[in-house]
Amino acid sequence: MPRFAANLSMLFTEVPLLDRFERAARAGFSNVELQSPYEVPAELLRDRLQANRLQMVLHNLPAGSDEAGKRGMACHPDRVQEFRAGVATALRYASVLGVPQLNCLAGKAPAGVSPSLLHSTFVDNLRYAAEALAQAGLKLLIEPINNHDVPGFWLCRTDQAVAILDEIGAANAFVQFDVYHAQRSHGELAQTLQRYLPRIGHIQVADNPGRHEPGSGEINYDFIFAHLDRIGYRGYIGCEYTPAGTTEAGLGWLEQARRSLRATA
């Protein structure tokens, strides 16, 4: 049965980051994920995880803090050294936090760079990261992000991501499948999940429109969760959405999903 993880970059944001761990535990989560942990010493994050009996299951590689890089930089040919230094930083955090997988954001395509150079830069960087993570026993994830919300984001489709994984040929590299981004990019959610299930290492959820909690929009999440269970997905489902109100007020969908999954177990 899939397990849910609270994304602490988007949930419980009415309190400071270090206080979100307790809020997540009180809301019934055993697992959390975080987009970028790097503004807080890893040891402080580890202490909050341990105090609240939480497991962190995912964080991103450093994505860059400036306008050019905050969406990621793995496809940027002028930032290769920065990207590779970020891999080392991410591995240090993952070691302290006990995180089993790291997500790599491709970034927005820089103006004036040829498509072939963007592609080769991304592939070379992923090969470097996959090898470094494999030595630490970790999985590498790559995440397609839709071009409606983030115009120019270089990696935007599931089939594109799988083709790149085929080119890399790393046994520890997988797709991070964000249901919201996939719906906006290409739809066909159930078929895409089933077709590429062996290549998917992590799933995230939000509804459309608005990127709010499941059940607030057009995506039939009752079907999606049951479908994931039927096809044998046993990984984590990250709750990466913007609550329409307070996080706790919008968590009714989660208990319903858990009841449905228990009923089909």
Q: How far apart are CA 265 and CA 225, in angstroms?
A: 12
What's the one-letter identity of residue 47?
D
Q: Which residues pair with 173 in a beta bridge?
A: 140
Angstrom distances, CA of residue 147 to CA of 72, 115, 163, 183, 258: 14, 16, 19, 12, 32
Q: Where are the alpha helices (DSSP H) in 30-114?
A: 42-51, 80-97
3 state SS of 147 = coil
- Measure CA 243 to chain center: 17
Contact 106, 74 (CB under 8 A): yes
Cis peptide leading into 16, omega within 30 of 0? no
Active-site residue, 218 included: no
- Measure CA 259 to chain center: 24
Active-site residue, 143 included: yes
Q: How far apart are CA 133 and CA 86, in angstroms?
A: 12
Catalytic residue among 14, 167, 240, 255, which? 240
Q: How far apart are CA 2 and CA 227, in angstroms?
A: 11
Six-digit token string for 122: 């991304």
- Measure CA 15 to chain center: 22
Catalytic residue among 143, 167, 188, 248, which? 143
Six-digit token string for 82: 């920065």
Q: Annotated catalytic sites, by residue?
A: 143, 240
